[in-house]
Structure 1
Amino acid sequence: MTTHRELVEWSAAYCGRAAEAFGFDVDLSRVEWEVSTRAKRRAAAVKRPSVDGAVVGEPKSWDGAVPDCTVSLTWAAFESFSRTEWTATLRHELVHVEQFQRFGTTDHGDRFERRAAAVDAPVRVRRFADPAYVLSCTECGEAVARRYRDCKLVRRCEEYVSSCCSAPLVLDERT
């Protein structure tokens, strides 16, 4: 695939096949598709309206049609993932769509984990871009934070402590 349109068409078609093969309870006619060239941390995302009082696990009774949601695909992730990894990412997003359409919200909790396992999808999708900044624990050297943009944590890292050793953080020399 060489264009955004081709990526959207192929991914939407795959999701239709996956919905049938894995028994997803989704209405794909209520899903819009887009491609992001800016995202650096997420391979894809389901953008959805906020629904007051929605809780995963409590089915939502929709007055009328289920609201539309948008699956946003990240071009750089698609380029760096194998076909197998990309299709697993799409199934991950289908779990979000399924949860949203059923409950009015979605998360990565226990229900998500069980459903992702049932459809052979990761709960967390791997990073596809290197962070601009890595912060490490001064005690054990463990990388404890990754940031893609300059922020207060990066600029003032010595004011923070690690969760592993409660030691000060240092900006890793690799960055």
Structure 2
Amino acid sequence: MTAPAYDEIATHEDLVGWSRDYCKDVRREWLVDVRFDLVEWEVSTRAKRRAAALKRPKIPEAEVGTPIDWESTTAAGGRRADGRPFPATLSLTWDAFDAFDREQWESTLRHELVHLEQYQHCGTTDHGSAFKARARELDTEVHCETFSDPKYVLRCAECDALVARRYKDCKLVRRAEEYRSSCCQAALAVE
């Protein structure tokens, strides 16, 4: 099945098809070392804050920057005998796709490819220094753009810099006066 043009995406299947094709192009053009035969794709209509996510098994001994020996790795009660990584799922959020323009969506996909590459090589992923360096190489952000409005916005009371967004009531929101901004060491204001 041929994926539709970006502006013709109308179904979850269309979104997966177009996104998969785009990721394959990125793999070739930007030399991203990933295996798509070990990736499942899905579309979420429930996610409210994340534009996409890489769902993967947790491997306790895995560490970003340390290549993993998949033949001796266990997770989720099983072991791969063939040395291939455990499959991962790239979950795409329909509301984010709907809210973003094409450039934002492509950046989101490149961000997830950094996670996939780290996972397939190291058995885990994070947003640390290795991620930041690879994100720069792929011209993407370390944190994906938000597509929904937070319930609470916390700002520095001194310079009005954004400190945090929260989508539900939490300790930081309830006790904001106990925290200080990293920019000015000033109190936090909750909007």
Normalising by structure 2, what TM-score? 0.80
Q: Percent identity, aligned pairs only?
A: 55
Amino acid at match of 1:23: L
Counterpart position of 2:104: 85
Secondary structure at the counterpart of residue 29 of structure 2: helix
Kindly provide the CA deviation profile for residues 24-80 of structure 1, in whole angstroms up to 9, marking residues without a partner as x: 211101111111222232211111111121111111111122101111111121112
C-alpha distance in 1, partners of 2:160/2:111? 32
Give the aligned residue type for 1:20.
R
Q: Quick one: structure 1 residues 110 and 167, their matched pair in 2 at CA, closer, same or farther if it must change by over 3 Å?
A: closer
Which residue of the other structure, out of 62, 66, 69, is the alignment partner of 1:58? 66
Report the RMSD for the aligned CA atoms in angstroms.
1.9
Larger mean CA deviation between 4-13 and 156-165 belongs to 156-165
Structure 2 CA distance for aligned equivalents of residues 70 and 167 of structure 1: 41
May I ask how many residue pairs the two structures share in their alignment? 172
| Match among 119, 127, 130 for residue 100 of structure 1 | 119
Higher mean C-alpha displacement, 21-30 vs 116-125: 116-125
Find the residue that maps to 2:111 and give its secondary structure. Answer: helix
2-side partners of 1:152 and 1:48: how far apart?
29
Aligned counterpart, 1:4:
12
Does the 8 Å contact 1:161/1:169 carry over to 2?
A: yes
Unaligned runs of 5+ in 2: 1-8, 72-81
Q: Give structure 1 regions of 4+ aligned residues with deviation exceeding 4 angstroms.
A: none
1:16 counterpart = 2:35: no
Alignment-derived partner of residue 142 in structure 2: 123
